[in-house]
Every structure is written in structure tokens, then in C-alpha cells.
Amino acid sequence: MKNGASIRCYLGLGSNLSSPTQQLAEAVSAIEQLPSTTLAAVSPVYQSDPVGPEGQPDYINTVVAIDTLLAPLELLDHTQTIELEQGRVRDIRWGPRTLDIDLLLYGEEVISSERLTVPHYQLTVRNFVLLPLQDIAPNLQLPTGESVKELAANCSKAGISLLEGVTLTR
């Protein structure tokens, strides 16, 4: 664990199998239970076209903000455990999945290792990440200096829609 103040992190969650909205709700609940971690915000829920192989169902997506004392790789280990507990199988790149949790941002850190790249390498081009991220952190600046608000304003809005009335927390 890291010593000192907690770090604000953002996680992108997506699912397109086995009741995707329920998968995300269960994932948010599991994230709330992580050690030394507090759930700070949950974005509205979006439906988006799949990225990857043809013929898969649309994705349901959200972004959560957490404050944590966990180190980046500890947090990654915990999120991968949540994925596995919810039936995640890693067999097809960008294939359908019960749950995908991406560590988008870890404070203002830039991390490049074999297991983890932060900011997430596709953060600036994925509308299903940028739009929900903007919903909960509109004034956020990425470690690269880019503005989430500007990136979201300039990203394509094709293939994505807000799911009105869907909430993932009690």
C-alpha cells in the first residue's frame, strides 16, 4: 500500500454479456468493497457499439471515480480479480465479455510498464470513456495536459447513447 494521502483514480467499466447492466452494478459494488478505497462517483450509464469482432452485442459502459491508497499494480490486481469473479474470459482481443475494468487514470501519474499503461492508451479516443468521464469530472486535466471537456466535445458521438433512468448504485 501507498503511504499518505489517497489518490483519485478513474476506472472504465464495460460489459456486453450476461445482463450487462447487472454486471456493472455488481462491479461497482465490488469496487466499493476494495481495501483502503472509497467510491467517489459513478457516471451515468451509456450504451455503445462494440469495438472489435463483428456480431457482438452492444456494450454498456460507465466510469467510476475512486480515492485509494492502493498502489497502481495492487489496484490492477484487484480489478482483474473482480473481472474473473464475474466470469471474464480473456480469449479474443476486444471480444465480448462479462466485464472489463480499465484503469484509466491514477492521479496525475504516467505509468508505462509491461502490465499497465496509465493514462489508458485509448482514453483520448474512446467516446464510451470520454463522455462518462466528462459527466463526473468535467474539469479534469489529463497528465498530458489535455482537457477531458475538450476531448469529449471533439470525440465522435456516433454509436453511443445515454441510458436514461439506469443507475448502478443503491
Candidate list 93, 100, 135, 170, residue with the active-site label: 100
Report the top-level CATH class of 7-162.
alpha beta
Separation between Cα atoms, residue 106 and residue 120, nearest integer Å: 10
pTM of the predicted model, to two decimals? Answer: 0.92
Q: 90 pLDDT exceeds 90? A: no
- Going from N- to C-terminal start, the domains of the chain cover 7-162
102 flagged as catalytic: yes
Separation between Cα atoms, residue 27 and residue 25, nearest integer Å: 5
Q: 113 pLDDT exceeds 70? A: yes
8 flagged as catalytic: no
100 flagged as catalytic: yes
pLDDT tens-digit map of 6-40: 999 999 999 998 789 999 999 999 999 999 999 99
User: In sequence order, which residues have a C-beta less than 8 Å from that of residue 3 and are 6 or more positions away?
Assistant: 69
Candidate list 49, 93, 97, 126, residue with the active-site label: 97
pLDDT at position 84: 85
Candidate list 88, 91, 93, 115, residue with the active-site label: 88
